[in-house]
Structure 1
């Protein structure tokens, strides 16, 4: 179970980064198959240890049963994440939200989490939220446009930060470092420092 959980978590994240545009259910289906391979090897090894020999004839049946169990476990995870991702009912006091152009690219369990920061990493974008982070395929400029409704600002050519997420500011030499919720540190470059200072960020 520990081996399956480890491979399931990592393979799910890798598949989401590899094929972010594929339907979400395919990520879970591929994760179930990916989990089944190492778990089948582990089950075969345990059986061989108890029996004193390795019976290769049981490999197809063992893989089938492991795949069924993995599919059930990932299916439960998929349904659970879908339920968690249901958007809250909109009301007069509803908080502003980022555009679905950004949030729909996130894993289901992060779609309704508050966005703390956006960090560009080569061709990818790391979205820091109050429930964790995720790496998606999106340009920072497009993500900033999608987060227009949120109270935040670009602090660096590779960073956008939500104002409410800032917990501490360290200043020096025309630059600054913002410590955000969860200990995330976002840089403020000299280019953006004056604008943020005028806006009262520090």
Structure 2
């Protein structure tokens, strides 16, 4: 439980810092006349919109590689900025109308253009931070990584993470790492082949587990369950039990 909370805190720290940082920066600038709200309302105004945009941007960044697996990385960021700008424009327009004494109409197209500039700025910050984080991890003494066939399908923030486990879900594959998880379109057999250089093994027809991710083991009657450090329980079938036992997992 403690390990799970620490992992969750580590995964949330960077996005929270970025939201507060960008939101505070925009609150100080006070675009769209938001400076008239005064503090702390202008700060709540922008951190709220940046949080909403971040949630939508995360969803776009997560699902775009699933729907368009060959899409280049830059296109995912551009798509995020454009899609995020739509609901943010609606929200800004509504707030501006409500805040106006006369309830004056707003130029939605003009506001969308301005919001797109801000979304582009925020997305650029995220892109730069992601690249710097990735480059820093690569330039260090990094543990063995999976092959490109798997890594290229993962979100940017997980490309240099350590893979803990993988499980098949219909036509998709859930990849769990020490920095979070992602659902990608890939066969487990292909992912396992890409992880050939890692210290892990197939435990079930639908599961692969990294040895270092195992915290506890329960076994009985030729089967078993691997309790992982993130709290996930991976099944061990009769088919794979003997090989794991011979390899010293049990």
User: Could you state the TM-score of these two structures normalised by the residue count of structure 1?
Assistant: 0.91
Aligned pair partner of 1:47 in 96, 118, 125? 96
Match in the other structure for 1:120: 168
1:77 to 126, 129, 138: 126
Q: CA deviation at 1:173?
A: 3.6
Decide whether the 8 Å contact of 1:84 with 1:108 is kept in 2.
no
Aligned ranges for residues 18-97 of structure 1 at < 5 Å? 18-51=67-100, 52-53=102-103, 55-56=105-106, 58-86=107-135, 88-89=138-139, 95-97=143-145
* C-alpha deviation, 1:53, in angstroms: 2.3
Matched ranges for 1:108-187 at <5 A:
108-187=156-235
Gaps of 5+ in 2: 1-49
Correspondence for 1:14? 63
Question: For the residues of structure 1 that align with 2:180 and 2:51, how far apart are their CA atoms?
Answer: 21
> What residue number does 2:11 align with?
none
**Would you say the 8 A contact 2:84–2:119 is kept in 1?**
yes
Counterpart of 2:40? none
In proportion to residue count, which structure has more helix?
Answer: 2
- 1:196 aligns to 2:244 (yes or no): yes
Partners of 1:186 and 1:180 in 2: CA distance: 7
Q: Tell me if the contact between 1:156 and 1:191 (Cα under 8 Å) persists in the aligned partners.
A: yes
TM-score by length of 2: 0.75
Runs (5+) with no aligned partner, structure 1: none
Query: What is the number of equivalent residue pairs in this alignment?
Result: 199
RMSD: 1.7
For 2:246 and 2:156, locate their aligned partners in 1 and report how far apart those are by CA, in whole Å.
37
